[in-house]
Amino acid sequence: MQGLAKGGFAGMGALSMPLLALAIDPVRAAAILLPILIVQDVVGVWAFRRTFDRHVLAWMLPGAAVGIALGYGFAASVPPSAVLAAVGLISMLFGAWRLWTERRGMPVASRSPGWVGSLFGVLSGITSQIAHAGQPPYQLWVLPRQLPRDMLVGTTALFFCAVNWLKVPAYLGLGQFTRANLLTSAALLPVAIATTFGGVWLVRRVSAKRFYTLIYVLMIAVGAKLVWDGVA
């Protein structure tokens, strides 16, 4: 799932951490996934390096940096389950609304001010730090802009590449880059890289309209999973 997400099917990756957390401690699960995400980012960024939106990155990345710091500093006082449930509910409602407007043929493009993007960047940073679940808040601001397919994928790849590197000091501080965790990451890496290339191949063969429809469906599925994890 994480590989397909990094290859361009944004949204699927948010399911990886909850599934891994079914078997091991959630903090350890997130630490195991982080090195894999960083290596996968290389594939996604290289494949779509010429197609990205500077405006989106300029507004969202500073907010994401603030969100990562908040997620690290206040994790003890803000229940992660409550954050994930709220993000999941918003994601489900947004995805359903976008599918409804497209089905009725209503205009869906929207360009809210850049400072709104910074606020969504903060939320994306918080949820990414807590559970690598930064995609839904990111998509809430970026998808309504209706970027061309390859530009959306390239912008997403660059954004989360930067976000994942910003999370490294926090996980170092938590002492989670242990030998056992890194060996587990290394064991999972070959499959992750192969599926990332598979995601890139698939994205370039799916029409832009179907691509956006699939993303909205995935947002609803991911949102439902986050709500389930938050209330369970």
Q: What percent of the chain has pLDDT over 90?
A: 16
- Please report, as a single letter, which amino acid is at residue 7: G
pLDDT in tens, 141-177: 898 888 888 898 889 989 999 999 998 988 887 777 8
pLDDT above 80 for 102: no
Residue ranges per domain, the chain? 1-231
Dist. CA 51–CA 59, nearest whole Å: 17
**What is the mean predicted confidence (pLDDT) over 59-86?**
80
pLDDT in tens, 9-42: 555 555 555 545 445 555 677 788 888 888 888 8
- What pTM does this model have? 0.72
